[in-house]
Amino acid sequence: MKLRPEQLAAQLNKNLASVYLVCGDELLITQECCDTIRQYCRKQGIHEREVLNVERGFDWGQLIDSGQSMSLFADRKLIELRLGSSKMDQKSSAILQEYLQLSDGSNILLVSCGKLDSRSMNSKWVKALDAAGVVIQVWPVERQHLGNWIMQRMRSMNLTAEPDAVQLLADRVEGNLLAADQEIAKLKILVGDHAITAELVASAVASSARYDVFKLIDAALAGQAGNALQMLNSLLAEGGEDIAMLGAIVREIRGLYACAQLVEQGQNIDKALDSQRVWDKRKGLYKNTLRRLKTRQLGALLQLATRIDAAQKGQSDENAKLLLSNLVSALAGQRLITPAT
């Protein structure tokens, strides 16, 4: 039986299966699925737990022995088989299937592992686990749904937040749910019963080094091309995610482009900034940027961003990192270099 993580609790309330497979790279959700299964085992009076970590040289016979050995203190136990990133070969697959054939269902087997590709999902051992119990595939939360996930998480902790605060936190955690959960817990301590504001998120979350892309953006908006490029090169050298960086930069350029359009249509610049929900502390940066970059230049930056996106996805032969450097320097006021596509 294949289930989504949010369906697990309902299934456990109906019946505790004898086999569970939890697979996926989203650490927070996989941990919580495993924790939920452990909790329901304890509710059923299963308190003994045996953990088997599959590493190099692991003796798969331990799984059979664990399933067949009697507990000194209880009739049933939870056996956790943690595969981690280990690959299942023909021998390990056969032993796991043998365990399922020998099992009388009294013990609970919880298998956990990283993301499984389509070939692995169609392997004999996964199909055997699926037939014997429950398979839960954990998928990353897509970028467009991250805000809703954060809002639901906050509500589960009896927190309220402004929409801008939720969006800012989503931007800064860059899809890392574990980081988001940690930040929400920190914000709960800070706000108590009050609503979470964007200003609070900015001050409480911005200190982390993994959010330096936002300092990079501020340097570019301030016209500090050299400083911004130095930050960009440092982030890339440290293994920073260039796709996430591009997303953050593009959101800023889109806001600038919308403001520039309104100003060119005759709207007061402060009203234009308010309409785009630019915080007071950042209005000076926006005004300085809009003095040197007009709608035409900002539109060209968005076109360049589209080319970078294609290069990052392997849809063109252009150098994505070189183009990203060009984008940052142009945002800081340097001449935009546009080589032929």
Tens digits of residue pLDDT in 142-180: 777 888 999 999 998 889 998 999 988 888 776 778 778
Predicted confidence at residue 132, as pLDDT, reads: 93
Residue 315 main-chain phi, psi, to 5 deg: -90, 0
Q: pTM for the complete prediction? A: 0.57
Average pLDDT, the chain: 86
Strand order of the β-sheet with 49-53 is: 2-3, 134-137, 19-23, 108-113, 78-84, 49-53
What is the rounded (10 degree) CA torsion for 271, 272, 274, 278? -140
Q: What is the largest CA-CA distance in the chain?
A: 82
Rounded to an integer, what distance in angstroms lies between the CA atom of residue 174 and that of residue 176?
A: 6
The answer, yes or no, to whether residue 66 has pLDDT greater than 90, is no
Share of the chain above pLDDT 70, in %: 93
Encode pLDDT of 79-135 as tens digits.
999 987 678 889 999 999 999 999 888 899 999 988 888 888 999 999 999 999 999
User: For domain 2-137, which architecture applies?
Assistant: 3-Layer(aba) Sandwich (3.40)
The answer to whether residues 23 and 116 touch, using CB atoms and an 8 Å cutoff, is: yes
Locate CATH 1.20.272.10 in the chain: 211-331
Encode pLDDT of 205-263 as tens digits.
754 444 467 788 989 999 998 888 888 887 887 666 677 788 889 888 998 999 999 99
Encode pLDDT of 2-38 as tens digits.
999 999 999 999 999 999 999 987 878 998 999 999 9
Locate CATH 1.10.8.60 in the chain: 143-205
CATH T-level assignment (fold) for domain 143-205: Helicase, Ruva Protein; domain 3 (1.10.8)
The answer, yes or no, to whether residue 68 has pLDDT greater than 90, is no
Predicted confidence at residue 207, as pLDDT, reads: 45
Q: Which two tokens stand for residue 211?
A: 């959010």
Rounded to an integer, what distance in angstroms lies between the CA atom of residue 249 and that of residue 244?
A: 9
CATH of region 211-331: 1.20.272.10
Q: Which two tokens stand for residue 185?
A: 């817990």
Predicted confidence at residue 238, as pLDDT, reads: 67
Predicted confidence at residue 7, as pLDDT, reads: 93
Q: Which two tokens stand for residue 311?
A: 């290069």
Locate CATH 3.40.50.300 in the chain: 2-137
